[in-house]
Amino acid sequence: MAMETLTRDVPSSMQHHNNSSISNMKHSYVQLSKTCLDEDAQINKKLPKELLLRIFSYLDVVSLCRCAQVSRAWNVLALDGSNWQKIDLFEFQTDVEGPVIENISRRCGGFLRQISLRGCQSVGDGSLKTLAQCCNYIEYINLNGCKRITDSTSQSLSQYCKKLLSLDIGSCSMVTDLSLKAISDGCPNLTSVNISWCDGITENGVEALAHGCPKLKSFISKGCTRMTTRAISCLAQHCTQLEVINLHGCNNIEDEAVIKLANNCNSLKYLCLANCSLLTDSCLVSLAEQCYQLNTLEVAGCSQFTDIGFLALSKTCHLMEKMDLEECVFITDSTLFHLAMGCPRLENLSLSHCELITDEGIRHLSTSTCASEHLAVLELDNCPLITDASLEHLINCHNLQRIMLYDCQLITRNGIKRLRTHSPNINVHAYFAPVTPPPSTGNSRQHYCRCCAIL
């Protein structure tokens, strides 16, 4: 029976999924299906199989499984491999186990192109080997958070999935350098890899990847504390098409690595160096000299950066849209002045904990092209010199949607109120400590304490 087949293929929780996640379109075909139980129903007579298959191709996993229960004809069509080219099982991560993946793999075969098993912690190497063997044309696979997989999975992908373009093994704690070595040997067309929080990966694995996958465009290694300057330099030398690099928390990276990236990877568009505390203005100057297409720069916690580096960037990186400068404690209003002049597309700017920023810097920013036309998010948390005057300046920023003002102690409720009067749709995040109750006088008993007022 169709129901038995589905039970083998997908967890029961998929069949009883929360109705809130079912769209109006899905509801419509469920109603329609009630009229189609007969194999000779009009819809089966009027519509050719090819058209029904095309309709089914727009449905998700749950919807296809429900259609498969309508009739024998619909069961065949709904479970046709051509409808299962793209599968995302994240919503069922707690229910998906090995047999589910194996059955899906056999059904999809060569049709499957993309699969996301993000967070499916019960899936292991055996079922993923079956997936690799059955689905040789897979191009995208997300295994982020699949804690049970080891290097064996990467070796299977290397052996059977030669067309693999994107691999996410972030937070797979049992993966080591052997995985990257296997991928480099068998998947030369790889363009994207995520190895974030993989503590077992060192510079040796990254060097192997760089030599074997020269078409790499995206490299994400957040929290890889064993990443070194040598590894990133090798990546820059061999993977010159890199456009996206995330080294968040790779705190051993030095200027030399970023300078080599700048010199060799001129197509760089997104760069995250957050908490790479050894970096100095030298690497920013190199980026400014070579990477004119850079549109996102995240350098939160890079406490050695100064106005010099951002002055250089503002002169050449005119496509910049997002900058996170949180805890770049040495920058001053000069940085804002130059960004206002040189980055007309800036949409998102974080200056949290930049304690030298004043109202004058915000004034320069608010009168620029970027502020009046594009600036949508501005974070000023813990900027102690910012006052209500800054909010007055920001009235000119007609596209501003969100502003963060936590612990800006010179900002008042009245200042925020005036800003909202001119920009009623703006989302203001601020905190005001509760007023301490006055001390009791005479013999009268105090009815509440300060703790109660805060609570």
| Residue 54 domain flag | yes
pLDDT at 70: 82
Q: What is the DSSP letter of 76?
A: H
pLDDT score at 435 = 59
Contact 409, 401 (CB under 8 A): no
Q: Which domain holds residue 58?
A: 45-81
Query: Which structure tokens are listed for 427?
Result: 């989302």
Where is 100: in which H helix or E strand? helix 98-108
Helix (H, G, I), strand (E, B) or coil at 429: strand
268 lies in a domain? no
Mean of per-residue pLDDT scores for the chain: 87
Provide the pLDDT for residue 81.
Answer: 75
Helix H or strand E segment including 245: strand 244-246
Is residue 225, in this structure, part of any structural domain at all? Answer: no
Please list the pLDDT of the chain residue by residue as tens digits (455 residues).
332 343 344 444 444 444 444 454 455 445 545 444 445 566 666 678 888 888 888 888 778 778 888 888 888 887 777 778 889 998 888 888 999 899 889 988 889 999 999 999 999 999 999 999 999 999 999 999 999 999 999 999 999 999 999 999 999 999 999 999 999 999 999 999 999 999 999 999 999 999 999 999 999 999 999 999 999 999 999 999 999 999 999 999 999 999 999 999 999 999 999 999 999 999 999 999 999 999 999 999 999 999 999 999 999 999 999 999 999 999 999 999 999 999 999 999 999 999 999 999 999 999 988 788 899 999 999 999 999 999 999 998 989 999 999 999 999 999 999 999 999 999 999 987 675 666 655 555 554 444 433 33
Give the burial string for 251-266 (b: 16+ CB within 10 Å, else e).
Answer: bbbbbbbbbbbbbbbe
Residue 215 lies in a domain: no
Q: SS3 of 255, please? A: helix
Distances (CA, A) of 424 to 1, 319, 395, 416: 58, 29, 11, 11
Residue written as tokens 């190199």? Answer: 286
3-class DSSP state of 51: helix
**Block residue for tokens 């696979």:** 141
Q: What share of the chain is helix, strand, coil (3-state, %, to 5)?
A: 45, 10, 45
Tens digits of residue pLDDT in 33-83: 544 444 556 666 667 888 888 888 888 877 877 888 888 888 888 777 777
Can you give the CATH number for the domain in which 378 is found?
A: 3.80.10.10
Give Cα 37 distance to the centre of its chain.
43
Burial of 18 (0-12, 13-18, 19+ CB in 10 A): exposed
Size (the chain), residues: 455
Cα–Cα distance, 320 to 329 (Å, whole number): 21
Any domain includes 386: yes
**Is 163 within 8 Å of 153 (Cβ atoms)?**
no
Token couple for 314:
């503002």
Q: Which of 57, 81, 105 is the last residue of a domain?
A: 81
Residue where the block lists tokens 């999924």: 17
State the amino acid at position 279 in one-letter form. Answer: L
**Of the candidates 246, 239, 244, which has an alpha carbon nearest to the alpha carbon of residue 224?**
246
Rounded CA separation 107/129 (Å): 15
What's the confidence (pLDDT) of residue 242? 98
Residue 405 lies in a domain: yes
Q: Name every residue whose Cβ is closer than 8 Å to that of residue 383 and which is 6 or more positions away in sequence.
A: 351, 352, 353, 354, 355, 357, 408
Q: Does residue 273 sit within a domain?
A: no
Question: Does 368 fall in a domain?
Answer: yes
Please state the φ and ψ torsions of residue 403, each to the nearest 5 degrees: -135, 135
Backbone angles phi, psi at 379, to 5 degrees: -110, 120
Percent of residues, the chain, with pLDDT higher than 90: 69
Distance between CA atoms of 160 and 156, rounded to whole angstroms?
A: 6
In contact, 375 and 399? CB cutoff 8 Å = yes
Q: What is the number of helices (H) and of strands (E) in the chain? A: 22, 14
The total of structural domains in the chain comes to: 2
Positive or negative: CA dihedral 19, 20, 22, 27: positive
